Amino acid sequence: MNRIATSVVAAATVTFVGFAPASLFAQASRSAPSASERPLAPEKNPPGDIPDNQVFIEYRSPQGFNIKVPEGWARREIPDGVTFSDKYNTIALAASQRPDAVTLANVKQLEVAELEKTGRAVHVTAVKSVKLPTGSAVVASYSSNSEPNPVTEKAIREENERYFFWKNGKLVTLTLSAPLGADNADQWDLMAKSFRWQ
């Protein structure tokens, strides 16, 4: 039996902007961002580090991909993908159809521009092509404000990495989010490198 819980913890925040199918936006977004929204100050001692001894298990998606995710995180299936959450950490995967391959140029021109326009106080710090075991991908690194917590109504400043995987007309976006200042570089790298097409 899969030990990942099936309900999303109350503190989880999920942000899908600019890159996911419309049905995903409708379910994940709680409130529209304001054009004048300002970046929040980073948390002191942010509660977002994934432990070094975290166990990872393979998730096999009906959308046609596999990826390693932290064991025990809350899982939420949605029509075009899935999210995994723990405190303010979120892993979001969304699949869609896209006829043309993703390139560094078209991600910068289209997806990054849309992210900056529709996201919550988004500040993009890098967009680059990367070589991964599954092949080439494009990754955008950025900070943004989180969705307000449904219980406390508190939002925090997050750091994010969004990977674009493309093959044979299918696009999968992987978004990794954590409180700004959390040290998850190794764990995020592990998950990105574990992505495989079925």
pLDDT tens readout for residues 69-79: 999 999 999 99
pLDDT at residue 57 in the model: 98
User: What's the CA gap between 31 and 147, in Å, rounded?
Assistant: 8
pLDDT band for position 80 (50/70/90)? very high
pLDDT band for position 152 (50/70/90)? confident
Structure tokens at 183: 């040290």
Q: Which residue has the higher pLDDT, 12 or 98?
A: 98
Structure tokens at 70: 């932290």
Q: Which of 24-33, 60-69, 128-137, 166-175 has the lowest mean pLDDT?
A: 24-33
Give every CB contact of residue 161 below 8 A, 6+ residues apart in sequence.
Answer: 139, 140, 141, 175, 176, 188, 192
Tell me the domain boundaries of the chain: 22-32+49-197
pLDDT band for position 35 (50/70/90)? low
Q: Domain 22-32+49-197: which CATH class? A: alpha beta
pLDDT at residue 32 in the model: 59
